Chain A
Amino acid sequence: MACRPKLHYFNGRGRMESIRWLLAAAGIEFEEKFIESPEDLEKLRNDGSLMFQQVPMVEIDGMKLVQTRAILNYIATKYNLYGKDIKERALIDMYVEGVADLNEMILLFSICPPGEKDAKLALIKERTTKRYFPAFEKVLKSHGQDYLVGNKLSRADIHLVELLYYVEEIDSSLIANFPLLKALEARVSNLPTVKKFLQPGSQRKPPMDEKSLEEAKKIFKFK
């Protein structure tokens, strides 16, 4: 029996969360080894386990993979969540990159100094309601299908629904005018694997709080 993938990261969402979501949605059990101190990170670096000295790092199929996108691409391909041909993959990639851009803004917002929070929050809200949500609502409207690409569940749906949850945490009113996004969220959330992941006790990580922010700052040495 093949080993389970092993995720190396700190005990929080950060850049590893989308990988957790994708594995969970694909029904793949995974282990986690949490980095709890700067020394833990140093050890991984000194062992030569981190190609560019950075995490996320995922041990899977005899490889030590780094770079979030490379890891997600691998998992999506392996578990058939990447469309049926290169044209579907291009559409999926386009959608996923948009999701990643907004997700990045939210990630940076969660770790930014208090003085910068208001401006960042305003920009997130604007981009969400004027750029990203309208784009995805339009895609769903244009074909009327249940999923974003090829009438079949793909990583694009999973990453988007993950994002919808984060936006809701920030401001639950932002999704108000986007009925098709709401429907997608409900549909994907009801898939058995996703439903399980959304329940308490799963490997899904909570929003960053003061304590975990301090921990992350210590480990990754940022202010």
Chain B
Amino acid sequence: MAAKPKLYYFRGRGRMESIRWLLAAAGVEFEEEFLEKREQYEKLEKDGCLLFGQVPFVEMDGMKLTQTRAILSYLAAKYNLYGKDLKERVRIDMYTDGTLDLMMMIALVPFKPPEEKEENIALIVKKAKTRYLPVFEKVLKDHGEDFLVGNKFSWADVQLIETILMMEELNASILSDFPLLKAFKTRISNIPTIKKFLQPGSQRKPCPDKQYVDVVRHILQF
């Protein structure tokens, strides 16, 4: 029986959270090793695990994988969440790239100086409302289907619901002008694997707090 994927990261969302979401959505059990001390990180580097000296790092199928997007694409392909052909794949790539851009902005917020945070969040909310969410609302409207691509659950849907939930933490009424996205959120949340992941006690990580920021700064020395 194959070993479970093992995730190496800080005990928090950061760039690993999208990977946790995708594994969970695919119903794949995974282990986690949390980086709490600089020594753990240095050991991973010394052992040649981190190709570019960075985490996220995922050990699976005999590979030492780093780079968030490389890991996500591999998982999507392996677990049949990447569309049925190249044309569906490129649409999934366009949608996930867009949402990943937005989520990377959100991931950096806790590390900004306090005086910039509010302005930063306002910018993210504006971009979400004017650039990203309208696109997905239109996609759903145009085809009237339950999922973003090919009338089938894919990585694009997982990425979008993760983004929506993170945006709602920043701005509770972010979906007020997007009825189809509201329905989408409810529908996807009810998929058994997603429902399970959304429950307390799952491996989903909470909003970043000061302790998380301190650990990251300590380990990555910035």
Contact = CB atoms under 8 A, between A and B. Distances in A.
Contacts, number: 79
A222 interface: no
Interface stretch (B6-14, B66-74, B158-166): B66-74
Contacts of A66: 94
Interface residue tally on A, bucketed by range: 20 to 34
B98 interface: yes
Given A86-B78, A90-B73, A97-B67, A70 B90 contact: yes
Interface in A65-97: 65-71, 73-74, 77-78, 86-87, 89-91, 93-97
From DSSP, what is the main secondary structure of chain A's interface residues?
helix
From DSSP, what is the main secondary structure of chain B's interface residues?
helix
A145 interface: no
A61 to B, nearest CB: 8
Given A69-B97, A73-B89, A98-B51, A52 B66 contact: no
Given A93-B74, A131-B53, A135-B52, A70 B67 contact: no
A94 B87 CA distance: 23
A63 interface: yes
B131 A73 contact: no
A94 B56 CA distance: 12
A51 interface: yes
Contacts of A69: 69, 93, 97
A221 to B, nearest CB: 14
Nearest to A72: B93
Interface string A148-179: 00000000000000000000000000000000
A101 interface: yes
Contact of B61 (A51, A87, A96, A97): A87
A164 to B, nearest CB: 16
Interface of A: 51-53, 61, 63, 65-71, 73-74, 77-78, 86-87, 89-91, 93-98, 101, 131-132, 135
Interface of B: 51-53, 61, 63, 65-71, 73-74, 77-78, 86-87, 89-90, 93-94, 97-98, 131-132, 135
15 contacts: A51-B98, A53-B131, A61-B87, A63-B87, A67-B98, A69-B97, A70-B93, A73-B90, A74-B89, A74-B90, A77-B89, A90-B71, A93-B69, A94-B51, A131-B52
